[in-house]
């Protein structure tokens, strides 16, 4: 089992030192989320414990800028978006940003991609909320074309462009791994790509969802390709017993936040040291 960290709530001025410490301690990855246009009022019921994990005045940085920055300060730890709301973005500009992060990190980037859920953002950005699933499908196809083809072009319903030059290609070949977030219809999309990333409340839920994804991968003809299953454990730091239960359920990696970030992130760096010691991080069986 690999243990990653949710760095979205880490203070901006501590992101660099935090990443370097996490790498030294043996954490497997760092994940930074995205929101583009945040309203002043939220529906807290969407979150575990009826607690929204961000507010309108939360400091929200562009995830690809953050990961590029962290990539220059670290050497081995993987860096991902958890998640990037691709339907709100332009695919060519975003592809450029992702490649920059991958090149500067020497191929350590993971794309956590999702459709998004906050309709308010789509209204502000003048994007079609109802079509966001179809837009994401085309977006991921565009990324594949840009990263694999010498003269990429695309002609779809939502994106259309003639042959263009797109260099450099990513450091990772044939493409940067895509981990699809979301449940329901999103699982079919995840089955076509490289992994799944999302919140899982219990090991039983993790096992059930994994079985569903595997069935969809058999139907998609991708069952023999590598697939990485990541569980975001949002509000508390799981103990060794919970980690082992998730591992038995087929989870490859847990992404945790080992401090009470609903109150403050003041002790984030001390917290990841304490947590690494409490679970004997460096001696966990590899995922």
3-class SS of residue 161: strand
Is the pLDDT assigned to residue 40 strictly greater than 90?
A: no
**pLDDT tens-digit series, residues 67-81:** 999 999 999 999 999
Residue 161 burial class via C-beta count within 10 angstroms: exposed 0-12, middle 13-18, buried 19 and up: middle
pLDDT of residue 35: 92
pLDDT of residue 55: 76
Question: What's the whole-number mean pLDDT along residues 246-272?
Answer: 91
Residue 38 burial class via C-beta count within 10 angstroms: exposed 0-12, middle 13-18, buried 19 and up: middle
Is the pLDDT assigned to residue 143 strictly greater than 80?
A: yes
Please name the residue ranges forming H helices in 47-88: 63-73
Q: Does domain 2-283 have CATH number 3.20.20.30?
A: yes
**pLDDT tens-digit series, residues 112-138:** 999 998 899 999 999 999 999 999 999
Question: Where do we find the tokens 């779809």?
Answer: 156
Is the pLDDT assigned to residue 250 strictly greater than 50?
A: yes
Query: For residue 159, what are the contacts with CB-CB under 8 A and spacing of at least 6?
Result: 91, 138, 139, 142
pLDDT-derived band of residue 270, with 50, 70 and 90 as boundaries? very high
Across the strands, what pairs with 254?
3, 231
Contacts by 41-50, CB closer than 8 A, 24 or more apart: 46/117, 47/234, 48/199, 48/201, 48/234, 48/235, 49/235
pLDDT-derived band of residue 284, with 50, 70 and 90 as boundaries? confident
CA distance 110 to 79: 6
What average pLDDT does the structure give for the chain? 93
């Amino acid at each position: 089992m690999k243990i990653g960290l949710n760095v979205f709530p880490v203070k901006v001025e501590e992101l660099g030192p935090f990443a370097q410490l996490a790498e030294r301690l043996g954490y497997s990855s760092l994940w930074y989320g995205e929101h583009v246009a945040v309203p002043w009022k939220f529906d807290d019921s969407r979150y575990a414990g009826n607690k929204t994990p961000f507010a309108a005045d939360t400091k929200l940085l562009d995830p690809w800028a953050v990961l590029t920055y962290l990539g220059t300060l670290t050497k081995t730890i993987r860096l991902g978006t958890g998640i990037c709301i691709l339907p709100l973005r332009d695919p060519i500009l975003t592809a450029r940003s992702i490649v920059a992060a991958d090149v500067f990190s020497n191929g350590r980037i993971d794309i956590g991609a999702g459709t998004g859920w906050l309709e308010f953002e789509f209204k502000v950005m003048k994007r079609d909320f109802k079509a966001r699933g179809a837009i994401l499908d085309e977006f991921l196809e565009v990324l594949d074309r840009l990263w694999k083809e010498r003269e990429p072009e695309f002609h779809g319903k939502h994106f259309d462009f003639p042959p263009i030059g797109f260099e450099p290609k990513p450091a990772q070949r044939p493409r940067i791994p895509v981990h699809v977030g979301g449940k329901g219809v999103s699982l079919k999309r995840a089955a076509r790509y490289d992994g799944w990333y999302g919140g899982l409340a219990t090991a039983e839920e993790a096992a059930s969802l994994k079985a569903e994804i595997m069935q969809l991968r058999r139907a998609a003809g991708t069952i023999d390709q590598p697939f990485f299953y990541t569980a975001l454990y949002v509000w508390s730091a799981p103990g060794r017993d919970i980690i082992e239960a998730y591992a038995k359920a087929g989870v490859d990696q847990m992404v945790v936040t080992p401090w009470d970030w609903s109150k403050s992130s003041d002790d984030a760096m001390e917290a990841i040291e304490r947590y690494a010691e409490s679970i004997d991080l460096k001696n966990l069986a590899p995922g």
